[in-house]
Amino acid sequence: MIRRLLSPLSITAIFAFLALQTAAAFDPSPVDADPAQAAELNRRGLALYASGDLSGAIASFERSLDIAERAWGPHHPNVAVVVNNMGLALRDSGDSAGARGSFERALSIGEGAYGPDHPVVAAYLNNLGLVLWDEGDLPGARGSFERALSIEEAARGHHHPNVATNVNNLGLVLQEMGELQEAKASFERAIDIDERAFGPHHPNLAADVNNLGGVLREMGDLAGARGCFERAIEICEASPGLSDPMLATASNNLAFVLWEMGDLSGARASFERAVEISVALQGAGGPMASTYAENLRLVDEEMMGAGIEGIGSGEEHGEEDGEEHGRSEAYPRRGDGP
């Protein structure tokens, strides 16, 4: 699944502010522990992370962390920010245990620095919750999201976009736990908050609407799910370059609904689009591209069995019956730090 984390917390402003006070507030930093260098390495790591260079991002965050720990000690909030950012890159690289350790450490530092009810703590809780979800610890993930939601509501009110992030991610866990009505209500609340905050065409809405479509499909409301996935695609198309992974996800999800509604040609076209986008993003061997290519193969097989023309040619098909279609992909929300 493609999952949205809270966006990396930028420490640029924090470091710049504290650097002005280093001489007065702290003992002089070691000559090889320059806070400005730590900030620059963190910025470089964020840029590499955004570009998809996860190994480069991790290396930059590790260097930034080494300098930050020597400049401020291991329990400083700036250290937590770098640790959090490294956790994002570790998670995306498949190192779930490393990511969980990073987010747990960031959370511990944040609680010590700010207390248990600060929005920074909510950000770290959200990221920890998503890693716990990755690992199949649904009760742990639910507890993290519920605590993050409670903090954000108390700090920002019930209609802030950060609240929508927590509500959306809680909805995904509720859906996976089989609490479909509660999940549906969570996604509908996230949509309402984001529409109020950003209007009807913001990229955040694409994730919210896609996720609502997934739970509607699971509840058997194929027409409602189709409308959601089509709306998610329209939003992504209006934000070129910003939502390509989401566009591939929504296209794949729409294809499943069309397939289940009997529109095999429409399903094939949507799977084909998902494959094209994911190959452009990851290459033909990437996990998204491989999954979508297999979906395309299966619908081709069903079309061949039904005697429908216009499918891909030359591939040998296995003996899958095409009856069980994949689950809609969820898209956890990225939010912003405090």
Dihedral angle at the C-alpha atoms of 225, 228, 232, 233, nearest 10 degrees? 60
Other CB atoms within a 10 A radius of the CB of residue 324 amount to: 8
C-alpha 53/C-alpha 138 separation (Å) is 30
- Cα–Cα nearest to 60, from 71, 44, 39: 44
**Which residues 6+ apart lie within 8 Å of 285 measured at CB?**
none
C-alpha 232/C-alpha 51 separation (Å) is 23
Give yes or no for a contact between 149 and 163, defined as CB atoms under 8 angstroms apart: yes
Alpha-helical regions (H) of 238-326: 244-260, 264-282, 287-305
- Global model pTM greater than 0.95: no
To which H or E segment does residue 152 belong?
helix 138-156
Give yes or no for a contact between 266 and 256, defined as CB atoms under 8 angstroms apart: no
Other CB atoms within a 10 A radius of the CB of residue 66 amount to: 15
pLDDT digits (tens, 9 = 90+) for 160-218: 999 999 999 999 999 999 999 999 999 999 999 999 999 999 988 999 999 999 999 99
C-alpha 125/C-alpha 106 separation (Å) is 9
**Which residues 6+ apart lie within 8 Å of 32 measured at CB?**
67, 70
Structure tokens of 157?
């009110």
The whole-number pLDDT of residue 109 equals 97
The whole-number pLDDT of residue 332 equals 66
- Tens place of pLDDT for every residue, the chain, 338 residues? 333 344 444 333 233 333 323 323 344 455 567 889 999 999 999 999 888 899 999 999 999 999 999 999 999 999 999 999 999 999 989 999 999 999 999 999 999 999 999 999 999 999 999 999 999 999 999 999 999 999 999 999 999 999 999 999 999 999 999 999 999 999 999 999 999 999 999 988 999 999 999 999 999 999 999 999 999 999 999 886 555 888 999 999 999 999 999 999 999 999 999 999 999 888 888 888 899 999 999 999 999 887 765 544 333 333 334 344 666 776 665 444 54
pLDDT digits (tens, 9 = 90+) for 297-336: 999 999 988 776 554 433 333 333 434 466 677 666 544 4
The whole-number pLDDT of residue 24 equals 30
Structural domains of the chain, ranges and CATH numbers in brackets: 200-332 (1.25.40.10)
The whole-number pLDDT of residue 327 equals 66
DSSP labels, 61-81? HHHHHHHHHHHH-TT-HHHHH
Give yes or no for a contact between 73 and 65, defined as CB atoms under 8 angstroms apart: no
